[in-house]
Structure 1
Amino acid sequence: MGNIHIGYKGQQLLAVMWVETSLAGGIIGLRWYTRSFVGGRVGPDDFILMASWVLMLAFACLISAAVHYGMGTHVSQLDIDQVTHGVLMILIGQSAVALAMGLSKTAVAIFLMRIVTKTWHKIVLWFWIVTIMFLSLLVAIAVFAQCTPTKSIWDPRVKAAGQVCHMNLALAAEVLCSWSAAMDFFLAVYPWFVLWSVNIKRKERITICISLSLGVFAGICGVVRTTGLDAINKTTDYLFAVSDSVMWTMSELTLTIICVSVPALRPLYNRVTGGSSSGGHGAYYQQNDTKLTGTGTGTGNFQMNPIGKDTTKQYDVEIGTGHTKGLDSGSDDFILHNTDKPEGGIQRHTEITTTYDDDLSAVSTKQHV
């Protein structure tokens, strides 16, 4: 194989791909940090989104290798070995990114499932999860199961000796891309209809709805990618023609990760800008006499001693459930606090606000059912 000069298309592909992969990785890192140390808790959607990004990273590495072998370069400038190795890297990457695409949409649906309360809302989300993962797995497997001998898929010399194909990968890929784009649009609109009946603050509801609405842009990327698949499948200059499709794929993945991460990053934003945070901002507390967690009912006395600057700390105490926490109004635990309860249930809450002003303190309590 001769040395490849990476042309404009290859350079553009590498730049877009690694900027978006790094951006998505940074967003997920901040999301994980926020839920672990600032507000909320790590949930299934976080693990699924992390798995999606790992596959996205693998895809970026494989496409980088494909660029080294000639992806983004016209086939007339490549020898047969370069074409063979380049196509093989792309095929492996297609399997990885098909799963990444399905997992990223699943993470959004799982995030919504943690908030919605009605059974039919969850059934609708499960329908999308099952269908997108089925199609993703189908395409991931079909990439290498479509023809025999398997090597004939990427090596034209083996293909010329005889190839038998059992399924149409191009059709399966078009169905997956179309369904993925449709799911982007659905997940962008769905929260506006189902979250208005959920008992969360209006500000949190709007934050979630607007951030997930960014999925419209992911859907647009999916539509552009899908409309170009037919031309790619018919071209004889595959390594060059497929480059744009890869960039649209990466953009769709990145936008999906961003839109589902914005609500989770709100506690971190509050901390950085001086708002409330579950861990406090610039002040620390020593807690004595009575733990703020436990079981049983009734009331108790507790004392909080401030260390640091004057501040206010708020706790939401569930009486009768034995569950107490310091909550940030923007944290996942706050948003999801009332949505995990069965419909029709009644809980009594005691809201305790302790305000420290120099050496004086005032405690006020408010109970509601």
Structure 2
Amino acid sequence: MSSAALPLDEDRGPTMLGVFWAMAAVSTIMVSLRIYARHQIRGLGWDDLTILMAQVFFTLGCSLFTYMVMNGGGRHVYYLNTAQLLDAAEWSYISQCPIVLVYATAKASVSLLILRVIGPGSACRRTILIFIMISATIINVLIIPLTFVQCHPSRALWDSSIEGASCWPSYILMHYDYFLMAYNVFCDVVLALLPATFIYKLNMNRGRKVVLTATLSLGLLAAICGGIKIQYQEELALAQQADFTWVSYNIEMWAGAEAFLLIFCSCVPTLSPLWDRFVTKKLDSTYGRTPPKHSAGISRITPAESSLAKGPYLRVGQSRVEGTMTNIQAGSQTELQLINPPPERIHVLNVYKVDRGSDQEV
């Protein structure tokens, strides 16, 4: 290309880093709040562990993208020397690995979260969730070894000057990339819409059902990002031997946005206890726990060190358990709130108010 036809020496790397690290900061805050909320209700589970892993992978991916940008990522190849070109190409491939792992672990986290909500029932939905969790993990993880074994030696993937190197036909990985991106979009859509098929059956008020359905459906945003990313895949394939450091900007940005939204959206539904505690001023100590089987039985909760002569009765199942109650004076009534939930999984359906001077069971 003649010097007169060269594009301007622009650098989109700083923009990329600013966006990536801003997303990393927000997702870190969201995951931290999620872990705190679950710890407060003693409800930490495998879905929290997997989303924590996803956050670690995302932060690692941001770090690798930073190194790529420092070596010319986001600039036109015409203004990079040979060493910068090789480093930018190499780290472009390497930095994709943790982002792909975010897709796998975040989908596993969402699947595990929904499994906790539906409990032991609905075998069909459980089968769908387990299938998505396993298949998405395998398909996403598989792209990593396939990427680096397509050329022998692997360095020939970004260094075409190596003599005697052999590589697979480019269409093999390109077709797998399209399949991978389409399958991720499909999984995101299923995970976003599946909760709407059973939440309306849960024993909670209508407003709570609407909010829970909406928050669990936020994964559609990640699906949209995945769909947009597909259109840039062909553009990137055509630029592999041309201005790849510049053209890869679009797909890398959308890939990062998809990973971020998977983490962010999966955390939103789990923050309900914090919202209830600090905004609506009530604590739902059972949110996120596996719901118990419905029962007409009544269990007695005996308050420890309570000023009430007799403990209140809550419809919680068939087991007799003890918990610590606090008495909050509200005019002529006392609102009872379970502060320290017992080890057993208790499903509190309502918070009752009783007259302070009455010993009558409610």
Q: TM-score range by the shorter chain?
A: 0.7 to 0.9
Conservation of the 8 A alpha-carbon contact between 1:55 and 1:99: yes
**Which letter does structure 2 place at the counterpart of 1:74?**
H
* CA deviation after TM superposition for structure 1 residue 106, in Å: 1.4
Conservation of the 8 A alpha-carbon contact between 2:101 and 2:140: yes
In the alignment, the residues of structure 1 paired with residue 90 and residue 124 of structure 2 have an alpha-carbon distance, to the nearest angstrom, of 43
In the alignment, the residues of structure 2 paired with residue 172 and residue 143 of structure 1 have an alpha-carbon distance, to the nearest angstrom, of 10
* CA deviation after TM superposition for structure 1 residue 73, in Å: 0.4
In the alignment, the residues of structure 2 paired with residue 137 and residue 241 of structure 1 have an alpha-carbon distance, to the nearest angstrom, of 25
Conservation of the 8 A alpha-carbon contact between 1:314 and 1:354: no
What aligned pairs does 1:148-297 form with structure 2 within 5 A after superposition?
148-158=152-162, 160-165=163-168, 168-235=172-239, 236-277=242-283
In the alignment, the residues of structure 2 paired with residue 172 and residue 56 of structure 1 have an alpha-carbon distance, to the nearest angstrom, of 22
In the alignment, the residues of structure 1 paired with residue 20 and residue 360 of structure 2 have an alpha-carbon distance, to the nearest angstrom, of 54
Aligned in 2, Cα 1:124/1:78: closer, same or farther, shift over 3 Å? same
Conservation of the 8 A alpha-carbon contact between 1:353 and 1:365: no
* CA deviation after TM superposition for structure 1 residue 299, in Å: 4.7
Which residue does the alignment assign to 2:13?
A: 10
Which residue does the alignment assign to 1:293?
A: none
TM-score by length of 2: 0.78
In the alignment, the residues of structure 2 paired with residue 63 and residue 144 of structure 1 have an alpha-carbon distance, to the nearest angstrom, of 18
Deviations 1:225-281 (A, max 9, x none): 0111111012121111111111111211222222221221111112222511258xx
Please point out which of 69, 72, 85 is paired with 1:67: 69
**Which letter does structure 2 place at the counterpart of 1:136?**
N
Which residue does the alignment assign to 1:321?
A: 319
What aligned pairs does 1:66-85 form with structure 2 within 5 A after superposition?
66-85=68-87
What aligned pairs does 1:129-144 form with structure 2 within 5 A after superposition?
129-144=133-148
In the alignment, the residues of structure 2 paired with residue 277 and residue 298 of structure 1 have an alpha-carbon distance, to the nearest angstrom, of 20
What are the ranges of 5 or more consecutive residues in structure 2 without an aligned counterpart? Answer: 1-8, 286-297, 326-336
Conservation of the 8 A alpha-carbon contact between 2:151 and 2:165: no
In the alignment, the residues of structure 1 paired with residue 161 and residue 53 of structure 2 have an alpha-carbon distance, to the nearest angstrom, of 36
Q: What SS class does the counterpart of residue 179 from structure 1 fall into?
A: helix
**Which letter does structure 1 place at the counterpart of 2:95?**
G
Which residue does the alignment assign to 2:30?
A: 27
- Report how many residues are paired: 319
Q: What SS class does the counterpart of residue 184 from structure 1 fall into?
A: helix
Off by >6 Å, runs of 4+ in structure 1: 326-329, 349-352
* CA deviation after TM superposition for structure 1 residue 196, in Å: 2.3
Q: Provide the alpha-carbon RMSD of the alignment.
A: 3.1
* CA deviation after TM superposition for structure 1 residue 104, in Å: 0.7
TM-score by length of 1: 0.77
Aligned in 2, Cα 1:319/1:52: closer, same or farther, shift over 3 Å? closer
**Which letter does structure 2 place at the counterpart of 1:21?**
A
In the alignment, the residues of structure 2 paired with residue 275 and residue 216 of structure 1 have an alpha-carbon distance, to the nearest angstrom, of 30
Which residue does the alignment assign to 2:5?
A: none
Which residue does the alignment assign to 1:286?
A: none
Deviations 1:87-137 (A, max 9, x none): 221211112111111111111111101112211110011121122111111
Aligned in 2, Cα 1:365/1:210: closer, same or farther, shift over 3 Å? farther
**Which letter does structure 1 place at the counterpart of 2:24?**
T
What are the ranges of 5 or more consecutive residues in structure 1 without an aligned counterpart? Answer: 1-5, 280-296, 307-312, 339-348
